[in-house]
Structure 1
Amino acid sequence: MSLQTIQFTQEQARDLAGVSPGEVRAWRKAVSYLAAKPGKAARFTFADILGLAITRRITGDFHVRISDIGGSMDALFRALSETRPSDLESSVALIDAHTALLVPGFDLGAKPLKDPTFVIPCAQLVHDLSQRVMPLASASLQAALPFAPQMVKAGR
């Protein structure tokens, strides 16, 4: 029996990653990994949503045009899709103008950087996305019972 991965619709993926339909349309033109997921029937994994969130950070926070780094983002999406979900949180994305790598955080110092590179730790993004997918309510939010539980005998 194979392990099934949770699949998200395009609308769910956009909502979780905080991106607009227009952004995804533009990104599809530059990132072949996303171009392979067209239309309303497209399904996205958690790793794909993480890739969307990273792309949003680079294009939004740093104002980088997707046309300038499309090949790098394609490499990132492919690396994310090949990474075990349990390893995503401890990973760091290294993205330069030509390619992208996903490395374990403890291995970051062993990677020589030759070109200007975006270094994006995945831990906080994974945590934020996980909370949006499965919010955990704190114990203090549960109301106390107005009466104590009692054992009840069945009627005769």
Structure 2
Amino acid sequence: MFKPGGSSTFQEYSTAVFIPYIESQLEYRSRLDLVWDCYLKSGSLKATVRCNHGNGIRRRGTASGPVPSNWQNFLRNSDNKEELYSFLSEQVMQMVVKESKQLVVTDKKRVLTVPPRKDTANLAHCNHEEANTRMMVHAADALECGHR
């Protein structure tokens, strides 16, 4: 995750750091998938491991919320990350995307697309916690949609 630099709020972080990076990546690609970890509350093998890593400080990741000074500690808390990922997904979905481009964004178990797709059954309701394994589902979908 990109460090916030001099950003004082999460909105500023999104506008100054995160969105410019996403725009630069989409510039040279026909499709960009933004895939986050998904933190399942029950039946999760990873939940125990995350508990052992420590919880970090709980801080609300809202647009006007202040960016924490200790970014690493903030990211140790699964609730913080889940809220931040949802916020950033919403921000990305507000981007203006050229007609020839496609954007696929996960938000917890949901999948959001620009332009909107009628059928995201191949992607939605994914129960992979780790983005590394969820990416394989997205890669298969991209191939099925004609991307290389």
TM-score, normalised to structure 1, is: 0.22
Q: Which is bigger in relative contact order (C-alpha 8 A, separation at least 6)?
A: 2
The structure with the greater share of residues assigned to helix is 1
